[in-house]
Amino acid sequence: MAPVDITIGRRPSLDGALLGDTDPATQGGYPDHPPRMGFFTDTSVCIGCKACEVACKEWNAIPEDGLLFTGMSMDNSQGLGADTWRHVAFIEQRKPIAAQDPGVAHEGVDVTPLARQGSGTAAGQAAVTPTTPGDAGEFRWLMASDVCKHCTHAACLDVCPTGSLFRTEFGTVVVQEDICNGCGYCIPACPYGVIDQREGDGRAWKCTLCYDRLSVGQEPACAKSCPTNSIQFGPLDELRERADARLARLHEAGVIDARLYGRDPHDGVGGDGAFFLLLDEPEVYGLPPDPVVTTRDLPSMAKHVAAAAATLIGGALAAFAVGRWVS
Amino acid sequence: MRVRTWIEGWPVVRQLTDGDPLGRGAAAKSKHSAHLDPRTASADKVVKSVCPFCAVGCGQNVYVKNDKVVHIEGDPDSPVSRGRLCPRGSSTLQLTTGSSREYRVLYRRPHGTDWEQLPLDQAMNMIADRMIKTRREGWQWEVDGKRTRRTTGFASLGGATLDNEENYLIKKLFTALGAVQIENQARI
Amino acid sequence: MTEFQQARRSSSDVTKDGLRGQRPDRDALTGVATGKRAKLRARQRDGAPTVPEVTFTSYYNLPVINSPVWSSPDIPGYLFLGGLAGAASLLGAGAQVTRRPALGRVSKAGAFAAGVLSLVGLVHDLGRPARFLHMLRVFKVTSPMSVGSWLLSGYVPLTGIAAASSLSGRAPKVGAAATAASALLGPAVASYTAALISDTAVPAWHDGYPEMPFVFVGSGAAAAGGLGLLAVPLTQSGPARAMAVFGVGTELASFERMKRRIGMTAEPYSEGRGGAYVRAGKVLSLFGLAGAVLGRGNRVVTALSGAALLASSAATRWGIFHAGVQSANDPKYTIIPQRERIKGRR
Amino acid sequence: MAECHPVGFQWVMEAKARGAKVIHVDPRFTRTSALADIHVPLRAGTDIAFLGGIINYVLTNDKYFREYVVAYTNAGTILIEDYRDTEDLDGVFSGLDVDQRSYDFHTWQYEGMEVQAASGHRDLEYQDKAGGGNGRSRRSVHHSGRGEAHGSGGVAITGVPQVDPTLQHPRCVFQVLKRHYARYTPEMVSDICGVSVDTFLQVCKLLAENSGRERTSSFVYSVGWTQHTVGVQYIRTAAVLQQLLGNIGRPGGGIMALRGHASIQGSTDIPTLYNLLPGYIPMPHAHSNEDLDSFIEAESPKKGYWAQMRAYTVSLLKSWWGPAATPDNDFCFDYLPRLTGNHSTYETVMAQLAGECKGYFLLGENPAVGSANAKMQRLGMANLEWLVVRDFSLIESATWWKDGPEIESGELRPEDIGTEVFFLPAAAHTEKDGSFTNTQRMLQWHHQAVEPCGDARSDLWFTFHLGRKIREKLAASTDEMDRPILDLTWDYPTKGSLAEPEAEAVLAEINGWDAEGSPLSSYEQLKEDGSTACGCWIYCGVYSNAINQAARRKPAAQQDWIAKEWGWAWPANRRILYNRASADPDGKPWSARKALVWWDEDKAKWTGHDIPDFTATKSPHYRPPPGATGAAALAGVDPFVMQADGKSWLFVPAGLTDGPLPAHYEPQESPVPNLLYRQQRNPVRQITAMVHPHDRFEPSGGEPGTEVFPYVCSTYRIAEHHTAGGMSRFSPYLAELAPEFFCEVSPELATERRLEHAGWATIITARAAIEARVMVTERMTPMTVAGKRLHHVGLPYHWGHSGLATGDPANELAHLSLDPNVHIQEVKVLACDIQPGRRPRGRARDALVEEYQRRAGITERTGTEV
């Protein structure tokens, strides 16, 4: 038996294990790894065709996710889950993109009372496809393809007790179907509501960023299908550069609402491996405005747990100390 | 030996040995993950094809393994589509290999209330017989004194989803049989 | 025509030598190139892009995060039983030291039974129960469930040995060692589940993480004390009575503190199913506390108060469980605090 | 386009990235609108008014590309004095025969010339040319329409046109055009289309600014233009505009048809259509003693490439009847069945109902959902003796006898339906070799990947073996009736255990061969003497050098953007038709930044990025000698080589059944009167053959009862599904994306009719009542038309009762009033009512429709006026 090698030098630094800008593949024990790969989803050119949803399902053989007419504009898949790994959101708004002339005219109707919380109204309670209130004659239809963010600091991966969720050499986060025992911990841990349990199967499923395809140098199925290049795949560094240039160009062109989401390596999850260019606040698309990886607070939690445990011991000691008088 | 392999393979041990003390990466990788074999890479052959849905004509690569189509995706070489497919094109694998496809001849007899099965060859003979009969019954040598040499006994509809070669044979055969009511989606 | 528009006029030429200037930009700029409204927007382009303040909105009021798939009674039961077991192990060890054999038997047996049942609950809730052993595939300090699994896999056998020795009277030294070891692990067993639920994106759970361990150990202590009051003769139940008082006090105080501190994300602890359970737990614990304190000499009242304390602990865990689910299912609990946080940073 | 052709839309985005402006004109705000620069919602059915308004703008503001117009169009050609425009006759052209509902186009002629109808219509003049004939046969020819024959152009002219290059002559086409569109003012457009004057002028300016010498603009359309009673004229209006702007034959120009099926272009080129033979050669009509010579004489022009029609026809007959086709028997020309009028799919349904047509093949088509007035389709099928359905799954057209709407309502019982139904599973494109012709006329080969399973077979297999069996069964026949089938060349090689015919052998026959059997490489090699055979002359060259050119797949990255070595486009692998027009009359590119093909003076030939759609060595300075015929009769400045005069036509002197210039008519059913003319509808729309109790029309334009159907509904497609759903509703991944039939309405209409978002609504026309889930959305906008509020009801039409995603077919609502040129139904505009809640079940459903008919005072005469 070879001597167990626990050389310190091969260990990644524990700095940045839970927060901050870091290289997750190195953190994951891949000293020589390919560049970190990711998605940049530019929603400003998304046409909402849903090719990504179907291509993803075809490649990964994901089950059908229910036949439900939702009334949520053209979105009948509702969100990411165990059986939907790419999800195209549709939002109808009384807002201009920039100088587009949308042609619609609804001067006579006030949509505000119809859509109480704007686009945030549940479709079943609305009198109209929920619309963000705004000026009459303004209109835009936002579409955005959502996906697992492959966080730099991934809560799902951190809390997984079996090692089913693991960091790949590409810096992505993948669930291993031969390992997952369906404990379900990753599901509420994800700040984006991405991963979920498959009914009848019991295991947790989510986007793998087509780990199998990446391993032979092929791009993920969704990015490959995307007709308008809204979903761009590549080394994360390149994507970030491209996204910055794109944002600057859009701002210059008057698309003032444009913003990057998940691009910042100093945000609550250390930046996303799959980040987005959005045209409105993240929550409009169903994304959390300021997600934080829950394990960022783990050291503090541990301290509180320890203090509570000590308190319990103290309580027990005290109980026995006073026990002889109270019986 | 086996025990040793097992112990060395135990991720908890690998956490210590493989430079992944937190067990979040290399140490946690499973056997399955270590031997992923994407069917685009393991296919026996890649067959060049064209999307069967709309008329844009996007290129498709059809991946075949053990004489089964295992995947279909866009052909990046295509100047039409550059490898991209829409949701319908992306569903081609399901279209061609999905469970909704019928693989048996079905027959409904006149006034029948359900399908019956029929051997293909028998069905072909029955259809040929009916065509000969109906063609004859609807035969018109002349209409209003002018030679027509045709039948109006049977008609066909369809072709826009078919190959040029198929349309050619349909038009050739049915015209030679004297049929004129040959139509397709182009009119609709 | 604005300068920008001029620049945006098609720059792609088909010359005799081929295409020229075909990719001035990687992707199309949408909704910017028309004349009629360009001026209107041009004004807004001056200066840095500003994003207008928004009030709460969401995507069709759908939850942002996925709700836990954990089911009741498995998981709230697991939380409850883990607390009961951990605190009972301490009572068992104390009983051993202070020579209260009845209290020892009940507490040790209780700890073992609760430990086993909590494991059963955990395994039963797995999507793939047959893969329970995968829990020991890795040891992850970042996963309270991983740490807890290793903890329970050491702790439960120890409580079993302690209980067996105590009930049978055999191998007293082994029993004593096991009792001591389980008492060392007990507080961790009673408290780690707080980190387990807090270490999620569920607003009501995560936001409460500083107080949650105290609520949990308090609740566990109340339950373990309650068990003692229920099943141990008056002569030996003194420490259990004190433990119960300590537990209820810790739990109620910590809970109140937590709710006050976290603000709106505490709403689910007072509303709906979660709120109802929490209220029931509070009433039962006060009832139990009163019984424990006032019914000191009465075996029946003591037993009843013990039962009430056990029930209150369970109700509290059920309440916390459901409140968490409620907070996950309403997007406002995810979005509004995050919005506030962003505002606070500006 | 982003909805139905998303992958094609990447090129729109590419153009946008290079600065192109995208204008989307559509009643509803779609995925395309979301990314367009301007979305112009206009009232469905008013495109001619809208485009006519732009033509008027271009003409009155001198925005047309004068050099192009003068050189390449018939703008200067002078018309005869007899011509009367809609200006003169309040909405109709001269030559209208009200009783016959048809036009005599003899008054639409050029001065001093005789213009023959375009290929499809020349038979109309058969009487004039070949003698004989009577009014009745002429009418039948007329009613057959045959506008598809324009697919490859073609017209016959004799004589020399009189041209005024100054465009000043009062009877020259340009002046006629100017007068014709003068009343299409911005205000009028606004009133008719419901588009604001501002928006309309903005579109005009953008289009005019972006056209001319230095810039080009392109139009893209789909069935939103074709499915009207004036569908052909919609596209004609765009053609007039694009000619005026100089946008034809040039890079970045053109009018692009986005077609919906993989080989719908191919099925028109090699037509499974009643009125055409391969390569747009017309099917012959019944005349007394007609032979090949008189057919060619009547059908073929003397100039341009259509002058060789005899060679094309003889080569086709040789490829069909081989050795049996000899000069002595007219190459078996007599074997071709003859038409006696219209035999289109909708007439076929009427023939089924009448019991005349007893057998029916459905080959990958689902008329029970996808054709207009779906109920009539089903009733027609219920009256058949036998029906053969070939498809992947059990589509509605295969199962209507079991679980169709008429069974559900109790109107029919399976026990009472005598139709014998054969369902034969079809092979998928992965299971057979073959070629598709895409919407750019490009043939692409798909290779067989696997053998089909079970009984699934290709249609090549089915047709070949069916023919083989029939020939065997009739082998002993001496009946003259059976000669054509017995003489047919039908000996294709087969392969594999299933005896699948070799598709490439069929392609070789389509391509054609010479007397030695060597593949031909160009249609210019085709001979009149029977020494060549060719199954489709426009496809000649696809198998040149015995190489399957359609299977060429040189990667895009290894060639220029024209990608000539990917697949093969007809004719002769030219990618942009009439590209001679990209150069000026001297052969130089109009602009250095718009160079496509040009005359190379040194090499004395045409060269460029694309293959020149022109005789390669014909100098721009070539002028035809007197008496020249065929291609030689065209000058070096005549880019439109399929036209007998080499010019593109602003004014169409012959070839269209409903007028030489497009004029706005209201749809068959419209709540709005025609504001431009007294003539409400297209006077020659095809309607009379279709009058049937299940196909009643509604009152229109303010007639009593119009108010019963106050809304305009339009059927269309969405990205999630494919046409009638046979290829999408049975796939879970597509079904879940759009699981139910829904209608789209504006918040205003929802308020007016108390429609509940995500609830149910019932939509009613004079034909049917259907139910749909309601999508209330601001994407649907109310319009002000003729001073009144007008609402649209949007109806995606993909659903039926079978498959995973189900719902009522929108086509139940449609009627059978057709375009007179091509017999396409008007499903893009119908008048309807909408009410909250689900439709009645059983007999009550019909009762509701009858109640509406009664309230609107509908009789069999309603809506049938000229």
Nearest residue on chain C to D560, judged by CA atoms? C18
* B145/B179 same-domain check: yes
pLDDT digits (tens, 9 = 90+) for D801-856: 999 999 999 999 999 999 999 999 999 999 999 999 999 999 999 999 999 999 99
Of A248-252, D118-122, D372-376, D651-655, the range with the lowest mean pLDDT is: D118-122
* B57/B30 same-domain check: no
Q: Which domain holds residue B20?
A: 2-34
Kindly state whether residue A56 falls inside one of the protein's structural domains: yes
Kindly state whether residue C3 falls inside one of the protein's structural domains: no
Which chain D residues have a beta carbon less than 8 Å from that of A227? 6-7, 9-10
Residues D132, D180 contacting (CB under 8 angstroms): no
Distance CA A273, CA C253 (A): 42
The pLDDT score that the predictor gives to residue D125 is 43
Nearest residue on chain B to C142, judged by CA atoms? B22
* A60/A106 same-domain check: yes
Residues A10, B20: C-beta atoms closer than 8 Å: no
pLDDT digits (tens, 9 = 90+) for D78-107: 999 999 999 999 999 999 999 999 999 889
Which H or E run contains D281? strand D281-282
* A54/A93 same-domain check: yes
* C145/C259 same-domain check: no
* B88/B44 same-domain check: yes
The pLDDT score that the predictor gives to residue D438 is 97
Kindly state whether residue C36 falls inside one of the protein's structural domains: no
* C224/C151 same-domain check: no
pLDDT digits (tens, 9 = 90+) for C291-333: 999 988 899 999 999 999 999 999 999 999 999 999 999 999 9
Distance CA A278, CA C49 (A): 14
- How many Cα atoms within 13 Å fall on the side-chain side of residue D306? 33
What is chain D's mean pLDDT, rounded?
93
Which chain C residues have a beta carbon less than 8 Å from that of A291? 201, 338
Distance CA D436, CA D445 (A): 7
Give the mean model confidence (pLDDT) for residues A192-197.
Answer: 98
Which H or E run contains C44? helix C38-45
Kindly state whether residue C232 falls inside one of the protein's structural domains: yes
Asked whether the predicted pLDDT for residue C155 surpasses 60, the reply is yes
pLDDT band of residue D132 (cuts 50, 70, 90) is very low
* C269/C215 same-domain check: yes
pLDDT digits (tens, 9 = 90+) for C249-302: 999 999 999 999 999 999 999 999 999 999 999 999 999 999 999 988 899 999
* C95/C210 same-domain check: no
Q: Packing angle between helix C212-231 and helix C101-125, nearest 10 degrees?
A: 130
* C232/C261 same-domain check: yes
Asked whether the predicted pLDDT for residue C343 surpasses 60, the reply is yes
* B50/B74 same-domain check: yes
Asked whether the predicted pLDDT for residue A165 surpasses 90, the reply is yes
* A243/A314 same-domain check: no
Supply the ipTM of this predicted assembly.
0.94
Asked whether the predicted pLDDT for residue B171 surpasses 60, the reply is yes
Which H or E run contains D156? strand D156-158
Give the mean model confidence (pLDDT) for residues D529-535.
Answer: 97
Asked whether the predicted pLDDT for residue D464 surpasses 50, the reply is yes
The pLDDT score that the predictor gives to residue D114 is 66
Residues A128, D739: C-beta atoms closer than 8 Å: no
Asked whether the predicted pLDDT for residue D577 surpasses 70, the reply is yes
- The amino acid at residue D661 is L
* Count of structural domains within chain B: 4
* A238/A135 same-domain check: yes
C-alpha C6 chain-centroid distance:
59
* A48/A107 same-domain check: yes
* A173/A52 same-domain check: yes
| Residue C114, number of CB atoms within 10 A of its CB | 29
Distance CA B86, CA D7 (A): 6
pLDDT band of residue D160 (cuts 50, 70, 90) is confident
* Count of structural domains within chain C: 2
Give the position of tokens 């395809």.
A213
Q: Which domain holds residue C96?
A: 84-189
Give the mean model confidence (pLDDT) for residues C163-179.
Answer: 95
* Count of structural domains within chain A: 2
> In A28-139, which ranges are continuous DSSP H helix?
51-60
Give the mean model confidence (pLDDT) for residues D783-794.
Answer: 95
The answer to whether A74 contacts chain C (CB < 8 Å) is no
As a 3-state breakdown, chain A gives helix, strand, coil percent values, each rounded to 5, of 30, 15, 55
pLDDT band of residue A137 (cuts 50, 70, 90) is confident
Kindly state whether residue C53 falls inside one of the protein's structural domains: no
CATH number, domain containing residue A28: 3.30.70.20
| Residue after which a domain boundary falls, among C189, C208, C225 | C189
pLDDT band of residue C43 (cuts 50, 70, 90) is very low
The pLDDT score that the predictor gives to residue A6 is 37
Nearest residue on chain B to A88, judged by CA atoms? B87
* B80/B115 same-domain check: no
Q: In what order do the strands lie in the sheet with B68-74?
A: B45-50, B59-65, B68-74
Please identify among residues 22-81 of chain B the ones whose CB lies closer than 8 Å to any CB of chain C: 22-24, 27-28
For residue B111, give both structure tokens: 């006034």
Residues facing residue A248 across a β-bridge: none
Of A30-34, B7-11, C327-331, D124-128, the range with the lowest mean pLDDT is: D124-128
Q: Which domain holds residue A307?
A: 294-322
Among C13, C27, C34, select the one facing D593 at the smallest CB separation: C13
Closest CA to D594 of D254, D251, D245, D247: D251
Please identify among residues 9-68 of chain A the ones whose CB lies closer than 8 Å to any CB of chain B: 10-12, 14, 17, 24-25, 27-31, 49-51, 53-55, 58-59
* A181/A308 same-domain check: no
The pLDDT score that the predictor gives to residue D143 is 53
| DSSP assignment of B137-188 | HTEEEEETTEEEEEE-SEEEE--TTS-HHHHHHHHHHHHHTTB--EE-GGG-
* B185/B146 same-domain check: yes
pLDDT digits (tens, 9 = 90+) for D238-294: 999 999 999 999 999 999 999 999 999 999 999 999 999 999 999 999 987 789 999
Q: Is the peptide bond before C73 cis (omega within 30 degrees of 0)?
A: yes
The answer to whether B19 contacts chain A (CB < 8 Å) is yes
pLDDT digits (tens, 9 = 90+) for C99-124: 999 999 999 999 999 999 999 999 99
The pLDDT score that the predictor gives to residue D147 is 41
pLDDT band of residue C34 (cuts 50, 70, 90) is low
pLDDT band of residue D155 (cuts 50, 70, 90) is low
Kindly state whether residue A3 falls inside one of the protein's structural domains: no
* A276/A304 same-domain check: no
What is chain A's mean pLDDT, rounded?
90
The answer to whether A181 contacts chain B (CB < 8 Å) is no
Q: Label the pairing between strands B182-183 and B139-143.
A: unpaired
The pLDDT score that the predictor gives to residue C2 is 37
The pLDDT score that the predictor gives to residue D58 is 98
pLDDT digits (tens, 9 = 90+) for C189-208: 999 999 999 999 999 999 99
Let me know if C124 is exposed, middle or buried by CB neighbors in 10 A (0-12, 13-18, 19+).
middle
Kindly state whether residue A14 falls inside one of the protein's structural domains: no
The pLDDT score that the predictor gives to residue D864 is 94
pLDDT digits (tens, 9 = 90+) for D416-425: 999 999 999 9
The pLDDT score that the predictor gives to residue C189 is 97
Kindly state whether residue C281 falls inside one of the protein's structural domains: yes
DSSP reduced 3-state for B117: strand
Nearest residue on chain A to D30, judged by CA atoms? A141
For residue C286, give both structure tokens: 């006060």
The pLDDT score that the predictor gives to residue C215 is 98
* B8/B22 same-domain check: yes
Residues D510, B165: C-beta atoms closer than 8 Å: yes
| Residue after which a domain boundary falls, among C125, C159, C189 | C189
State percent of chain D over pLDDT 90.
89
| DSSP assignment of D492-525 | --EETTTTEE-HHHHHHHHH-B-TTSPBP--GGG
* C149/C229 same-domain check: no
* A49/A169 same-domain check: yes
Kindly state whether residue A228 falls inside one of the protein's structural domains: yes
Residues B79, D451: C-beta atoms closer than 8 Å: no
Please identify among residues 115-154 of chain B the ones whose CB lies closer than 8 Å to any CB of chain D: 115, 118, 120, 123-132, 134, 136-139, 141, 143-154
Nearest residue on chain B to A162, judged by CA atoms? B28
Asked whether the predicted pLDDT for residue D123 surpasses 80, the reply is no
Asked whether the predicted pLDDT for residue B81 surpasses 70, the reply is yes
pLDDT digits (tens, 9 = 90+) for A32-60: 999 999 999 999 999 999 999 999 999 99
pLDDT band of residue A174 (cuts 50, 70, 90) is very high
Neighbours of chain C (3+ CB pairs under 8 A): A, B, D
* C147/C234 same-domain check: no
